[in-house]
Amino acid sequence: MAALFAIEDLHVKVDGTEILRGVDMIVNAGEVHALMGPNGSGKSTLANALLANPEYEVSKGRILLHGQDVTSWPTDVRAKAGMFLAFQYPEEIAGVPMVQFLKQALSARKGIEDLSMLETRLSIMEWMKRLDMDPSFGDRFINQGFSGGEKKRNEILQMAMLEPDIAILDETDSGLDIDALRAVAHGVRAVQEARPELGVVLITHYQRILDELKPDFVHLLIDGRIVESGGADLARRLETEGYDAWKPVRP
């Protein structure tokens, strides 16, 4: 049986410069994988490549979803197939109410053209309650006037509504105070409880989000390669030792 999600020998270039130099990862249903590494190691490059940002060129390797090669698929097709990316810096989109955006996105994800606005709104309200979000946010323009924590919870709301098979969370914890981080982690756990088969790739710098979400595997990305993988003990080593022990020696 094929893995839920797999990255095989992935090489990615940006403006002609190779950033990822052969990344491998297998995520099975229900697993949480944390990806850590110093600034410039390629973490966000990986996130962008996984969701087909055209500025990131896959020069070698494959991305597989349910065993199917999706490497050449555009962003919208990957999203419809069950891939989701929570952004490090969510965009503000003026003039587009959250409820309308989610109705259109959910319609595309499920392939239902006449999706009921009432049912969509009721589902959004239910999830907002579970995520401790102000119900009025459903009628506000996407992320406009939202705090950093509200924007990140809004990303989790979208993940809950769209019911992806694999979620890539790109530094969802960045810029959050401890209360906002706990609220976001609570939201991720709520989505996991509703969808126990959901696979998660969590890109982060910090131990504290790992304390909340308890990943099954931790991977260390240095200079565009995963140089070590392990469990929670690897993250604790990074917390005390830093990244220097894993960085290649320069001539």
Say which CATH superfamily domain 5-246 falls into: P-loop containing nucleotide triphosphate hydrolases (3.40.50.300)
pLDDT in tens, 47-69: 999 989 999 999 999 999 999 99
Model confidence band, residue 225 (pLDDT cutoffs 50, 70, 90)? very high
The CA–CA distances, whole Å, from 79 to 16, 85, 114, 150, 210 equal 26, 9, 19, 23, 26
CA angle, 228 as apex, 66 and 83 as ends, to 5°? 25
Q: Which of 195, 86, 190 is nearest to 129 (CA)?
A: 190
Spatial distance between the Cα atoms of 238 and 159, rounded to a whole number of angstroms: 29
Q: What angle do CA 152, 157, 163 make, to 5 degrees?
A: 125
At residue 82 the predicted structure's pLDDT band, cuts being 50, 70 and 90, is very high
Domain locations along the chain: 5-246
The 10s digit of each residue's pLDDT in 89-119 is 677 688 888 888 888 888 888 887 777 888 8
**Which pLDDT band, with edges at 50, 70 and 90, does 134 fall under?**
confident
How far is the C-alpha of 50 from the C-alpha of 47, rounded, in Å? 5
Which among 205, 167, 173, 201 has a CA at the least distance from the CA of 84? 167
- The pLDDT of 125-153, averaged and rounded, is 83
Query: Is residue 150 over pLDDT 60?
Result: yes
Of 15, 14, 82, 81, nearest in space to 49 by CA: 14
Range 131-142 average pLDDT: 82
pTM above 0.85, yes or no: yes
* Contact criterion met (CB below 8 Å) for 193 and 206: no
pLDDT of residue 191: 92
pLDDT value at 223 more than 70: yes
Confidence of residue 177 (pLDDT cuts 50, 70, 90): confident
Q: Which residues contact 69 (CB under 8 A, 6 or more apart)?
A: 62, 63
Local confidence band at 84 (pLDDT 50, 70, 90 cut-offs) = very high
**Cβ neighbours of residue 62 under 8 Å, at least 6 residues apart?**
6, 7, 8, 9, 10, 69, 71
